[in-house]
Structure 1
Amino acid sequence: MPLKNITQLKTITAYQKIMMKNFTLLLALLIGTFLQAQQTDFVKTFTVEEAVQYAISNNFDAKNSKLDVDKARWRNWEIKSMGLPTLSAAAEYDYYFKQPQIPSIEKIFNDPNSITTQVFGYLAMKDPNILQMLYNYSVNNKDTKISFVMPHNFNTSLTLSQLLLDGRYFIGLKATRDFTKVARLQKDLSDQDIRYNVMKAYYQAQAAKESKQYLEEVKVLVEKITSDTRKIYKEGLTEELDVNRLELTLSNLESQLNITEKMATVALANLKFQMGLDLGSEIILTDKISDLRAKMDPSVLPNFEPSKRIEYQLLETVIRVRHYDTQQRRSGHFPSLVGFLNYGWQAQVDKFGNFFKSREVSYPDGDVRKKSNWFQTGIVGLKLSVPIFDSGNKMAQTQQGKLDEQKSKNDFEKFKQASALQFQSSQAFFAQALSEEQYSQKSVELSQKIFNKTNIKFKEGVGNSFELVQAQQELIQNRLKFIQAQLNLLNTKADLDKAVGK
């Protein structure tokens, strides 16, 4: 092969290698981007307010409270429909395998007071030949029993009814608006409780997370100090006791970190449960405890007005509902009036198939006509129901309603006092938490200064490990106490907001 061709071939091969390398890098970049996008899709981030709003839509209690509102609407329609027209259909088929019979015709004619004799008399007035025919039949068949009921009977009807007067119905109509209001207020109260629980769960989870992160940072620092001390010990510039003390501190720190990790896991799982999230889902909390604390202005405290509490409005509405219930029970003593219209069809035949056939009827003039086996009936009327005596049943129901109404009033007065006590307690706890946070912050600042100076002295060889370990432990405990103090302050602020109805 010529040298020129070999050179060209090497150039092409080198170019292909470069392109393949670039393609591999591009493919790796695309795969990494795809995996990162997939991870982002599965990991959700939440602020406190986002967590609250998610919970109001997905928490199980929130879902049930929404269903209760819908249920109240259907309950109202149930009450209203009692005063609207109702239409019903009925059908009945009877087969007499043994037909009812009456005594012989001769005995009937011997008893002029029998209804059958009177019916025959009426028929005789219409056609005298009928009476003569029946009499001749009775002479020839003295002991024969007869039946006026066909084996196969079918009845069908349509009934239209309308409630015209009923005191219980009209009182129920008045109460429907309050039924819906009670359900809505209960939903608002449920949402408020969900907000309260989610906020406190969020604070707890974030505080546990930050405590864990802080201990991890301290662990890295202690590991470095321990490692440096080992090197100094090998050079003979410190005692083995100093190394042992630092190793013990590191061991205790790892144990404390392990406990904190478990607490953080449990706290995060509790937050997911309160939010209505799947416990296996991944979430990231973006609001730090310090940021949440910075947004709080302790100098601005809410005013207490019991009427703004949802429970206050709810109990007021419940009292009205109880009053309507008492009135409705009392109105059971009053009359009720219902109007109705019934239209039906009935047939009696000797064979089932004759339901669908016509019968032939002979007339005196010799004419034979076909008639349907079905006959029509219609009735319109009013039904008045007047309670007269029920052995005190309705009176007992009314008295129970009055007692329930009084209990609701007692609950209302109890809530007024309890809410005032709750507000006073929340104020006191919030003030105490604020004071503890301020003291804790000062302790952290002092502990940090002490540790920094002790660490410098230890590095310079003028301090010992005992002082360093003690300063480190005090700093860790004060820092964790400060996080807990901030958490307590946020929790007491949530309690105070709930006490005023926020």
Structure 2
Amino acid sequence: MALALKDALEMAKHGNKALQAQVLEEIHAQEMTREAKGGLLPSISANAAYSRYFERPIIFLPGSFAGTDKAVQDVAFGGKNAFDVFVSLHQPILAPTIQQLKEGSKINEQLADQKTADLKSRVALQVSTRYLDILMMDRQLGLLEQSLKRNVKALEDARSLLTQGRGLKSDTLRSFVAVENLRSSVSYLKNRMEVFSMELKRLIGLDEPIDIVLTDQLEIGNSQGEFYQVEEALQIAEQNRNDLHIQQLAIDYQQNKLKVAQAGLLPELSLIGQYQVQAQADNLKFSQYALPRTSFLGLRLSVPIFNGNRTKSQISQARIKARQEEIRLSDLKDEVKTELATIISKWKEAVTQLGIQETTVKSAELNHQIIDDRFRNGLGSRLELTDAELALTQAKINYLNAVYNLRMLHVSLQHALGLLRLS
């Protein structure tokens, strides 16, 4: 399966399981907002009850009311079967606590959105890193396999010369060690590529047991000229980094919790109402029942007076938490600034190293060509040619490392700026 980096990022956007779980967290936050809004809507409930009295209920009346000379007389009343059906209404009119909870749920929903965006950025970094790792190892593997072929040929030549009595045993042993070392490196790289390919497929949500072939090039193109000043980079990061937005929303959320606690000191006003139907009798002849009705509509005012200073303690706790989040935001900004300064410094050095390695490869190629000509004309030894070949291979690997380092720094810089996205 041919796979470009942009295609891998697009597949991760839909196939990464961590992202799928986070999207459900967004939906959960939206439902919490709906729940909080529902607290300001009217509540209507219907209730029905039936009671069977084995002895009639008792009330106590003045004896004069009951026709006796007792000061207090107990009187049995009502039927043994009691039915009660009622519908209740409760509508908050002034509810500061519920209103603040609704605002807090909106902030929580924004937090979930930002956490999803932050996770997407981190997944994009992981996918890009693994993609570049595999590209780098594939290029290294190609160089090592070419070097292995040349060294196998050198070992065959050394053995032939040793058999003819024209070579040294030490030269043959040296060629043998070089070949075995290269075989070990090739085997190690192949195994690492297989492991990293499995990790890349997991990140992009590719479950099918198919091989992937990366189509992008390791070379970075024109992006090596993207320099930033630290303050300029910090301004870009503050506008785009999701973790900074998350921390700011965490401050807003704690401040909202402070308002919720403060709202606990305010009065609440509600509209209440009820419609009730009752019936009592000693039998179950429903057609003969009288069904008296009762209904009312009114206002209920609740004023908090004293609750053991619990509300004041909650207010103090919320202020402390809000201050903690402000300190964390300040520390995070300092951390981001240090991260950006480090990456920019490494970036400039990586560009310099890339230029050096380009020159080194050209010099190693020229040296190898000279030694090869000398060897073909009988003026140089196989050992010199082997050393020149190993030096050329190492120079090319060093160049690849420089290109890889620059690509990785570019990805890290884009992520640190908050510009790395899945799409």
**1:366-445 pair list within 5 angstroms:** 371-372=288-289, 374-445=291-362
Amino acid at match of 1:495: S
Once the 2 structures are TM-superposed, how far is the Cα of residue 330 of structure 1 from its aligned partner?
0.6
Q: Determine if contact 1:162/1:340 at 8 Å carries over to the other structure.
A: yes
> Take 1:67 and 1:102, find their aligned partners in 2: how far apart are those partners?
58
Residues 160, 341 of structure 1: 8 Å contact kept = yes
1:395 to partner: Cα distance: 0.3
Match of 1:453 in 2: 370
Per the alignment, do residues 488 and 60 of structure 1 end up closer, same or farther by CA in structure 2, a change over 3 Å counting?
same
C-alpha contact 2:227 2:344 (8 A) present in aligned 1? no
Q: Could you tell me whether the CA contact under 8 Å between 1:245 and 1:469 is conserved in 2? A: no
Equivalent residue number for residue 8 of structure 2: 51
Are residues 1:78 and 2:7 paired?
no
- Cα pair 1:246 1:465 within 8 Å, conserved: no
Q: Does 1:189 align with 2:118?
A: yes
**What pairs up with 1:95-110 in 2 under 5 angstroms?**
95-97=52-54, 100=57, 109-110=67-68
Q: Return 5+ residue gaps in structure 2 as ranges.
A: none
Among candidates 53, 68, 73, match of residue 25 of structure 2:
68
Q: CA deviation at 1:116?
A: 5.9
Q: 1:234 to 1:387 in 2, by over 3 A?
A: same
Which string of whole-angstrom CA distances, capped at 9 and with x for unpartnered residues, describes residues 397-424 of structure 1? Answer: 0111111111222222223322222221
Deviation at 1:466, TM superposition (A): 2.4
**Quick check: 1:154–1:347 contact (8 Å CA) kept in 2?**
yes
Find the aligned partners of 1:471 and 1:452 in 2 and give their Cα distance: 9
| One-letter amino acid of the structure 2 residue matched with residue 298 of structure 1 | G
Amino acid at match of 2:395: N
Mapped to 1, the partners of 2:93 and 2:73 lie a distance apart of 38
Does the aligned pair in 2 maintain the 1:86–1:162 contact within 8 Å?
Answer: yes
Partner of 2:238: 307
CA contact (8 A) 2:351 2:406 kept: yes
Asked if structure 2 preserves the Cα contact closer than 8 Å seen for 1:347 and 1:374, the reply is yes
Question: 1:233-274 CA distances to partner (integer Å, 9 max, x unpaired)?
Answer: 666665555444333322221111111111212222222233
Question: Any idea what SS the aligned residue of 2:225 has?
Answer: coil
| One of 217, 226, 237 as aligned partner of 1:288 | 217
Identity of aligned residues (%): 21
Q: What's 2:133 paired with?
A: 204
Q: Check conservation: 1:150, 1:349, Cα contact below 8 A.
A: yes
CA distance in 2 between counterparts of 1:350 and 1:461 reads: 128
The structure with the larger Rg is 1
Compared CA separation, residues 388 and 467, structure 1 to 2 (3 A):
same
Q: 1:468 aligns with which of 376, 385, 405?
A: 385
Counterpart code for 1:309: N
TM-score, normalising length: structure 2? 0.86
**How far 1:444 sits from its partner (Å)?**
2.5
Aligned to 1:339: 271
AA matched with 2:249: T
- Matched with 1:298 is 225
Distance 1:391 1:499 in 2: 49
Q: Say yes or no: does 1:316 pair with 2:248.
A: yes
Equivalent position of 1:153 in the other structure: 82
Q: SS where residue 378 of structure 1 aligns?
A: strand
Letter in 2 for 1:307: E
Q: 1:409 to 1:240 in 2, by over 3 A?
A: closer
Q: TM-score, normalised to structure 1's length?
A: 0.74
Deviation at 1:114, TM superposition (A): 4.1
Q: In structure 1, what is the equivalent of residue 147 of structure 2? A: 218
SS across alignment from 1:282 = coil
Q: Which deviates more from structure 2 when the two are superposed, residues 419-428 or residues 389-398?
A: 419-428
**SS across alignment from 1:297:** helix
- Ranked by relative contact order (alpha carbons within 8 Å, sequence separation 6 or more), the top structure is 2
SS in structure 2 at match of 1:158:
strand
Distance 2:83 2:139 in 1: 82
Q: What SS does the aligned partner of 2:224 have? A: coil
AA aligned opposite 1:395: K
- Give deviations 1:296-318, integer Å, cap 9, x for gaps: 23254473215313333333333
Q: Distance in 2 between matches of 1:372 and 1:266?
A: 81
Q: Which amino acid aligns with 1:57?
A: H
Q: Closer, same or farther in 2 for the Cα pair 1:446/1:151, shift >3 Å?
A: farther
Q: Which amino acid aligns with 1:412?
A: L
CA distance in structure 2 between the partners assigned to 1:328 and 1:75 by the alignment: 16
Which AA in structure 2 matches 1:402? R
1:500: how far off? 2.5
- 2:50 maps to which residue? 93
Are 1:501 and 2:418 matched, yes or no?
A: yes
Q: In structure 1, list runs of 5 or more residues that go unmatched.
A: 1-42, 118-146, 359-370
Describe the shift of the 1:213–1:345 C-alpha distance in structure 2 as closer, same or farther (beyond 3 A): farther
Query: Would the aligned equivalents of 1:205 and 1:271 in 2 still touch at CA under 8 Å?
Result: no
Residues 102, 111 of structure 1: alpha-carbon distance in 2 compared, 3 angstrom cutoff:
farther
Shift of the 308–386 alpha-carbon distance from structure 1 to 2, 3 Å rule, reads same
- What does the per-residue CA deviation read over 1:407-462, in whole Å, with 9 as the maximum and x for residues that have no partner? 22222222332222222111111122222222233333322333333334334443
Cα contact 1:90–1:156 (8 A) shared by 2: yes
Are the aligned partners of 2:88 and 2:275 in contact in 1 as well (CA < 8 Å)? yes
Cα distance in 1, alignment partners of residues 378 and 169 from structure 2: 14
Counterpart residue identity of residue 95, structure 1: R
